[in-house]
Amino acid sequence: MAQIFHRSTNTVARVSIYGSLVALLALSFALYGLSASPYYTDVNQPKDQPVPFSHRHHAGELGIDCRYCHTSVEESSFAGIPPTQTCMTCHSQIWTNSAMLEPVRASYRSGRSLEWIRVNALPDFVYFNHSIHVHKGIGCTTCHGPIAEMPLTWKANTLQMSWCLGCHRAPEKFVRPRDQVFNPNYQPPADQAVLGAQLVKEYQIQSLTNCSTCHR
Amino acid sequence: MSASHTPPIIEPGYTFASVSDKISSIILGRRTPRWWWLGLAVSISILMVFNLAVTYLLARGVGIWGINIPVGWGFAIINFVWWIGIGHAGTLISAILLLLRQKWRTSINRFAEAMTIFAVACAGAFPLLHMGRPWLFYWLMPYPNTMGTWPQFRSPLVWDVFAVSTYATVSLMFWFVGMVPDLATLRDRAKNRLAQVVYGFLAMGWRGSAVHWHRYETASLLLAGLATPLVVSVHTVVSFDFAIGIEAGWHATIFPPYFVAGAIYSGFAMVMTLSIPLRKLYQLEDFITMRHLDNMAKVMLATGLIVAYGYMMETFMAFYSGDTYEKFMILNRMTGPYRNFYWTLILCNVLLPQVLWLRRVRSSVPMLFVMSLVVNTGMWLERFIIVVTSLHRDFLPSSWGMYYPTRWDWATYLGTLGLFFTLMFLFLRFLPVIAIAEMRGLVPAGSGGKKE
């Protein structure tokens, strides 16, 4: 009886058995790499906005306090996106003819809000409250990155759960004195370990890692 | 018992060649029988109902089912436990009876194993669908993830993932490895080129050399050794899904053995349900003899008694413990809104199967077939009673409620029967339904000496 398969089939069989193992491994590495890449996480990707608002200029060079615009950050879960009126407190007096700011003036005239593109967003199944973090000594830049150096704002961290837990499991590594929370140029001291432990005690910071802390 | 009263495990007059002929001709020889087409058509139609139910479920979410607080488990878990229990007989037959050198297992082990695999496939569908977002099923697995957490290893639901996936893998391997020599037989006997290539591919170059047989035997024994603890462990873990919880009626140490016995009970009932029509339709009465049916009936009787003991102990412990909630639960089972289900379950699982004590019943094929259906029904009702009666009236009377399955619950459940029988019909048509190589081993040495 004639052979059904050519003798090369033996090689093909071996290569495909071991090859599929290798391919599976490679695929899982590729997927893992993709899930950590900016393509998926949006980290460090500046977003175009209706008006090219620069945090570097306003918060960095001019030194305007974060809370001047993000007014509800100390009382509310949401830090707040400023209304056009907040922009116009200054821009009714300076750069009044700037073409770049025409959308701001148009918004002010018509009463229609500027439609900013959201940069940092958490899914709806996550409960997050800005005020408690600010009050327990977590600085703006701890999560939002070097905001005073951003000409256009970008997401500085993945906001993935593992990132949240990085701090929730070890808050002493990130906590800073309360009077430094809104300082965009704050650098942690060399003795963060000592200071952190002390602040955790002083501010009575709990390491909350229960599911229901955030998934309520 | 004298030998003359015991039917043989293979009728006399067979040789190596005639055994191979008879079994392989089911696939290669004759024309596909009309009943096969009919059966497959009906099964696929029901499978389409399953597809419809699942599609609608994925579009709308689990709200289309009857589950709600207080009964959050419902049909999904009932059917999961029922199906996975059915699978257990296949593993018992193929692994434990192999290690115990029970030769009568030979002619039923192949399709019992197939039944196991198809039943596990049906079982696996339910927890996945019950998750609501089945496309995220991989969250159940421990892998480095963006959430920075591991699955909750203290939860038996996670143990379940490992138990069931291990079970599916080992069963599949066992089934396939056992089939390799038979696939080679089919390859050698096939006349058409496509069949030669497909069976040749699946036979993985089997030439029947002494080395091949040696490795085959070693692999079979190793897999049997691996599968043996699974017979006990898988349904033990399934029972932990209940027993680790503090619900009245669930939180009992008797659950693991009681579940395992119930699994084997329902599994043998299903093997019986399948083998009786099978031997008739393919004229395999010489291979699946009355001896097989008799033995299976005895296993059913024994495991059925263990299950009955379980029911007794549940009731006894409820009162012996003096626990208000346990007492209420058992009384609510017996006299509450689901009492008809409970008493039907007792009838099907405890009372009616006692007729299997009678030799007259065990040698009557129609009676055995009816009993196998009765036990299958009873075991399904048992899971319904366990899941629903404990949940629907638990510790907080203000949250008591009733559970009513919706038409989508029924469509999904019946749909998995379609899936099961579709796979079964395809298996009957394209794979050797009885282990040819092992059957040759049963042929008495003198009559089998002739060369093919």
Q: Report yes or no: A190 at the B interface, CB cutoff 8 Å.
A: no
Identity of the residue in B144, B147, B197 whose CB atom sits nearest the CB atom of A161 = B147
Question: Is pLDDT above 80 for B445?
Answer: no
Burial of A150-162, coded b for 16+ CB within 10 Å and e otherwise, reads bebbbbbbbbbbe
- Note the helical H segments in chain A: 8-36, 38-41, 55, 66-69, 84-91, 102-110, 130-135, 140-144, 161-169, 192-202, 211-214
* Alpha-carbon torsion angle B114, B304, B373, B369, nearest 10: 80
Q: How far is B27 from chain A (nearest CA, A)?
A: 19
Question: Is pLDDT above 70 for B420?
Answer: yes
Question: Is pLDDT above 60 for A96?
Answer: yes
Which amino acid, one-letter code, is at B441? Answer: G
Cis bond upstream, residue B151 (ω within 30): no
Q: Scanning every residue of chain B, which has its alpha carbon at the shortest distance from the alpha carbon of A17? A: B204
Residues above pLDDT 70, as percent of chain B: 97
Contact B200 A4 (CB under 8 A): yes
* Whole-complex ipTM: 0.75
Query: Which residues in chain A have their CB less than 8 angstroms from residue B144's CB?
Result: 32
Q: What is the pLDDT of residues A37-68, one digit of tens each?
A: 999 999 999 999 999 999 999 999 999 999 99
Q: Scanning every residue of chain B, which has its alpha carbon at the shortest distance from the alpha carbon of A2? A: B188
Least Cα distance to B268 among B296, B294, B290 occurs for B296
Q: Report yes or no: B146 at the A interface, CB cutoff 8 Å.
A: yes
Determine the average pLDDT of the residues in B207-211. 93
Could you give the CA distance from residue B282 to residue B275 in angstroms, rounded to a whole number?
10
Contact B197 A4 (CB under 8 A): yes
Determine the average pLDDT of the residues in B71-78. 94
Q: Is the dihedral of CA A189, A192, A195, A200 positive or negative?
A: positive
- Residue ranges of domains in chain B, CATH in brackets: 19-442 (1.20.1630.10)
pLDDT of residue B31: 80
Contact A5 B200 (CB under 8 A): yes
At residue B447 the predicted structure's pLDDT band, cuts being 50, 70 and 90, is low
- What Rg, from alpha-carbon coordinates, does chain A have? 25
Q: How far is B262 from chain A (nearest CA, A)?
A: 36
What separation in angstroms does the CA of B168 have from each of A59, A136, B13, B384, B422? 59, 50, 38, 24, 18
Query: Which residues in chain B have their CB less than 8 angstroms from residue A165's CB?
Result: 147-149
Question: Is pLDDT above 50 for B451?
Answer: no
Contact B148 A13 (CB under 8 A): no
Residues above pLDDT 90, as percent of chain B: 74
Q: Scanning every residue of chain A, which has its alpha carbon at the shortest distance from the alpha carbon of B152? A: A211
What separation in angstroms does the CA of B431 have from each of B23, B24, B28, B133, B151? 10, 9, 10, 35, 39
Token pair belonging to B175: 């089934």
Token pair belonging to A199: 């602040």
At residue B2 the predicted structure's pLDDT band, cuts being 50, 70 and 90, is very low
Question: Is pLDDT above 70 for B87?
Answer: yes
Q: Report yes or no: B358 at the A interface, CB cutoff 8 Å.
A: no
Lowest mean pLDDT among B25-29, B273-277, B332-336: B25-29
Q: Report yes or no: B155 at the A interface, CB cutoff 8 Å.
A: no
* Alpha-carbon torsion angle A167, A171, A175, A181, nearest 10: 50
pTM score, whole prediction: 0.88
At residue B202 the predicted structure's pLDDT band, cuts being 50, 70 and 90, is very high
Contact B146 A161 (CB under 8 A): yes
Q: Report yes or no: A97 at the B interface, CB cutoff 8 Å.
A: no
pLDDT, mean over chain B: 91
Query: Which residues in chain A have their CB less than 8 angstroms from residue B188's CB?
Result: 1
